[in-house]
Chains A and B, each alone.
Chain A
Amino acid sequence: MNILIAHLLFLFISIVTLYLFRKEKIIGLIHIILSALSFLGSLYIIKNQTMYLQNTIDLIYIIPGISISFGLDHLGLIFLIISNGLWFMTSLYSERYLNLNEYKNKSSFFIFFTFSMFATNAIIYSSNLLTTFIFYEILTLATYPLVTFKKDEKSIINGKKYLYYLLGTSIIFLLPAIILTQLTTGTLDYRVGGIFDNYDSLTISLLAILFMFGVAKSAIMPFHKWLPSAMVAPTPVSALLHAVAVVKSGVFILMKIMLYIFGVEVLKDTSANNFIILFASITIIVSSIIALNQNNIKLRLAYSTIGQLSYIVLATAILAPYSIMAATLHLIFHALGKIILFLSAGIIATQTGIKEVSEMNNLSRKLPITCFLVLIGAFIMIGLPPTVGFISKWYLLIGIMESDKLYLLIIIIISTLLNAGYYFPIIYKSYFEKESSSDAKEITEDISLVFPVMIIGAIVILLFFNISFITTFIDGYIIRK
């Protein structure tokens, strides 16, 4: 049996297992074990990657000529290890987090959490647009119960917004784009170099716009509002799903569409990528300006995510080899950095009750490790050495200079300044600002909450000093394939 199907089947059985053993006491542990197995599975797949690459399986033809089919490519391989690895880390964190915050109904949380990861992995493995679309919609539906997990007025309203934005854009833009692609090319398979043999620039431009807005999980403005809405969810959801799995699925799909549906040459030839560059640039600047004014930590992080996602989209749309390198690297690094920030924000909220940036005064004395992790995460987001954020930004700058779009340098510089503008207050306050009211309540950091985040932090630091194995992989397989 094919390992990819086996992995998906395993995840599906995991959902059933969690449902059958839905006891509040043991379900967290089962969830950890299942995520660990899934992580080991993805490591195994990476180790034996040559066996599974370019080997697609058609499961069932749901429309004559178009099947649900699975396969694996190199870009998917990177996303696979990131999402499963971070799922394992988050599963360690969430069991403790849910207990400390006394959430009820933990079992349904873990069931839908696993369901979301099932959908994410299916998106990674999908080898044509229809399969991607199916699991894209399933991912939206699977995360909806997590967004509305608290079941109060606010989360229901926000959940509705979440659903309407994501389903609405996929129905109104993505579906017709897929159907139009099928009509013009006769196929929906991802293929290196694209599937358009004959094309006119009008169709390609129209499709580019439809796809860009249709994959609203990449949060390109003006269809980004769902992401701040989703922040009502418990922190592990915001961390893993709305900084890694869901949003990165969106970016991942857009990257695959640009590289494997349109193809670099077609996009360059028709200049359709300019639309994507334009909207991504606007998103980068506007989201950063909005983030400046957010006092709520999670909301500020959410708007930061919107901007960072557009970095990845922008970098891909520039279509220079080094910018694609930057995009792929940032896909990894932003995931690592943002999950650190979100999980730390969760620790801060759980242990001190602080949810606003303005309350973070001198927090580093109470929570030294957490604040140091926040520091690392913020450095990645701004792109400062010695963190990996610097590397991806470096490649992006080279990529821009490689292409003829030098004016984009201005966008990058402004946005870097803005990033610094909204991350430095967090760092400054937590390290240097004096506490206004001195309630000297002693808090010891909960080590089982901090531990998974520390591991991610350590990985990030180690990666900075040994990045070549990733860059050679991307260079060899994704850019020059």
Chain B
Amino acid sequence: MSQLPILIIALPLLFIPLIILLRSNQYSFILSIIVSLLNLALIIILFKQVYYNGDMFYELGSWPAPIGIRLNADLLSCYFLFLINFISLICLISSKDLVNTQVAKENIYLFYTSWLLCNIGFSGIILTNDIFNLFVFLEISSLASYFLISQGNYKKSVLAAIQYLFIGSIGAVFILMAIGILYTHTGTLNMTDLSEKIIQAKPSSSVILAIALFFIGVAIKSALFPLHGWLIRTYAYAPSIVVTYFSGTSTKIGIYILLRVFLDILNSINPFEYYDLAQLILFLSLFGVLLATFVAIKQSEIKNMLAFSSVAQLSYIVIAIMLLTPDGVTASLIHVFNHSIIKTGLFLIITILFINNNNITLDDIAGLNSKHPLIASSFLILLLGLVGLPLTSGFISKWYLVMAIFKSDYWYISGVVLITSFMTLFYVWLLIEKIYFSNNKFSDGHKINGYQYVCVFILTGLTLYLGIDTHFTVGISKEITVNTFYQLN
């Protein structure tokens, strides 16, 4: 039994009291960076061990599995764990200088505390093998994120946080009820145990109810169309560095829960077969892609545009999952990673360019090329990645998505997917024209610090690198599909 899984959760927890006790703005930043770096190092070690030696688990207090709480790290966990913590670290590093202007001075140490707590919640969700603990960690991350959102400098930031609180709580209650129903049917909360016992439980209407509740809860948390309203409001009013962090993480956690619960734990009872649930979600998401893309084209506020773009991209991921084929799951996993990197990069650039975090319209970014040519070219590459042009990671995602759709029974939806992917170009090009062809002077005159440059270049570089060398994304995704979801095939 290795201590690694618990360390990933416990280490930040040890640092948090220190940050609160020190109450220093500067130290809280440095400590958060240190703990995130350590955490990422641990995760890479864990990833390697899991990759070469297979799944790893940790039993809390040495209580054996069905009774005690167990942490379980398989490839799927490591893949998401690595992604989430990597993005958290990138955002933390570039938050230097930013937080001072966006967050009230006396709250900065609490801001970093909440950030770490939120990330602990995410890591916990990914690592736990206990379905009730999943709920607990979900609440930890949600509570922390309410605080993070409310720190925005808008009047409406608090309102957005409260709205998120209400909607998030509704989602959480749904999940809790679903867990309750599953518990009464199987008498266990351990995921591995549950997946075995759920077969013996007779397929009754209450199990179907549990599936429905769980799905709606997850759909709210991951902002699946048509439950994406909170995401748009949050992205508009939260501090932009928090938006950057959430754009790559919080919705992806929803995707993780979706994959883990529905395709892993409940896989034995085929939860998506009831009432053709998969088909319903598939077509809803397809409609979501269309709608979100149309709306994104009409946006004049850049963060809103990117938020709707996120809704569209998430719908692609859900479409891939709902094909219910190994290729579909692989495509979704690849796109989760690639899209996180690209979208975080885009939001990060907007964040560091406009630290005041006011409404950022298309005209504000005009003339960026003459002021910050390097940032402008990074932005260009990331946008091309979003469209999915070759040599960017977006192309790899698209290749596997279209391939999976062609191989499935739903080959005819490929047309909609391709056309919407082309329509991405419409709003992307609005930005590019402003950056490169406008005669306006770029007005925001503040300096971008070296850390922020490096972070942007890392994400841009990754977008290009993952478009050329796909051993990591494609290889790991295929491995996960075979190991976790389709063992029998």
Contact = CB atoms under 8 A, between A and B. Distances in A.
A447 interface: no
A63 B399 contact: yes
B470 A172 contact: no
Contacts of A176: 402, 406, 414, 418
Contact of A63 (B384, B396, B419): B396
Contacts of B422: 167-168, 171-172
Contacts of B426: 164
A160 interface: yes
Contact of B470 (A63, A167, A168, A180): A63
Nearest to A171: B422
Contacts, number: 65
Contacts of B468: 60, 62
B471 to A, nearest CB: 9
Given A62-B396, A63-B396, A168-B425, A151 B406 contact: no
A456 interface: no
A37 interface: no
Contact of A133 (B388, B390, B402, B419): B390
B474 interface: yes
B74 to A, nearest CB: 22
Interface residues of B, number: 29
Nearest to B384: A141
A183 B414 CA distance: 14
Contacts of A183: 403, 406-407
A160 B429 contact: yes
B383 to A, nearest CB: 12
Contact of A62 (B403, B429, B437, B470): B470
B389 interface: yes
Contacts of A156: 433, 437
A133 B391 CA distance: 11
A101 B433 CA distance: 25
A175 B418 contact: yes
Nearest to B407: A183
Query: For the complex, would chain A's binding face be called helix, strand, loop or mixed by DSSP majority?
Result: helix
A151 B435 CA distance: 13
Nearest to B478: A64
A137 B402 contact: no
Interface string A253-269: 00000000000000000
B243 to A, nearest CB: 28
A118 to B, nearest CB: 14
Contact of A160 (B391, B398, B433, B467): B433
A218 interface: no
B469 interface: yes
A148 B433 CA distance: 10
A179 interface: yes
A171 B406 contact: no
Contact of B425 (A62, A164, A175, A182): A164
B421 A171 contact: yes
A183 B327 CA distance: 13
A64 B399 CA distance: 12
A138 B407 CA distance: 28
Interface in A94-132: none
B390 A134 contact: yes
Contacts of A171: 387-388, 418, 421-422, 425
Contacts of A160: 429, 433
A163 interface: yes
Contacts of A141: 384, 389
A52 B357 CA distance: 57
Interface in B420-475: 421-422, 425-426, 429, 433, 437, 467-470, 474
Given A164-B426, A176-B406, 20 more contacts: A62-B396, A63-B396, A134-B390, A141-B389, A151-B437, A156-B433, A156-B437, A160-B433, A163-B425, A164-B425, A167-B422, A167-B425, A171-B387, A172-B415, A172-B418, A175-B402, A176-B418, A180-B406, A182-B403, A183-B407
Interface of A: 60, 62-64, 133-134, 137-138, 141, 148, 151, 156, 160, 163-164, 167-168, 171-172, 175-176, 179-180, 182-183
30 contacts: A60-B468, A62-B396, A62-B468, A63-B399, A63-B470, A64-B470, A133-B390, A134-B390, A134-B391, A137-B390, A138-B390, A148-B437, A160-B433, A163-B425, A164-B426, A167-B387, A167-B422, A168-B422, A171-B387, A171-B418, A171-B421, A172-B419, A172-B422, A175-B398, A175-B399, A176-B414, A179-B399, A179-B403, A182-B403, A183-B406
